[in-house]
Structure 1
Amino acid sequence: MENVCEKAKQEAGGPAALAKALGGVTSQAVSQWKKVPAERVLDVERITGISRHELRPDVFGISETAA
């Protein structure tokens, strides 16, 4: 299964596009993410449409629809 962080990068158009959309973070930093930092999850959700529950179930829990 594809890493959800990699999926988010692809959905945004790549690490550089995601970094630009987020602002205040470099594309190099985004490229190194193994999982989306908790403080960036809501913005990544807004940009990519990937649920916060999918991005960080350890922080936001599993969505009720997935359960």
Structure 2
Amino acid sequence: MVLLDYIKGLDKEQLEGFAKSCKTSVGQLKQVAYGNRRASAALAIDIDRSTSGSVPCEVLRPDIDWNYLRSKPEAA
């Protein structure tokens, strides 16, 4: 799923909560969703986590090798 489709399904309160969980603003989310700005790697990760993978970071930032990062074993 792309970010725009995800945020279109949210009402105003849900969108504000989603932005807060992603540590950003509603305006920034909309800029990324409409393609006016590129998500930082950190924001892409936060969106992926906050959507439980519905909007994967691979979709937001296809230029980053997420497979490499995902295959790293957890630090003890």
- Aligned residue pairs total 58
CA-based RMSD of the aligned residues comes to 2.8
Q: Structure 1 residue runs of 4+, over 4 Å off?
A: none
> Which structure has the larger Rg over C-alpha atoms?
2
- Whether 2:40 is the aligned partner of 1:47: answer no
Uncovered stretches (5+) of structure 2, i.e. residues with no partner: 68-76
Q: Contact 1:36–1:55 at 8 Å: present in 2 too?
A: yes
When the two structures are superposed, what TM-score results if normalisation uses the length of structure 2? Answer: 0.51
Q: Where do residues 7-22 of structure 1 align in structure 2 (5 Å cutoff)?
A: 7-10=5-8, 13=10, 15-22=15-22
When the two structures are superposed, what TM-score results if normalisation uses the length of structure 1? Answer: 0.55
Uncovered stretches (5+) of structure 1, i.e. residues with no partner: 63-67
User: More helix per residue: 1 or 2?
Assistant: 1
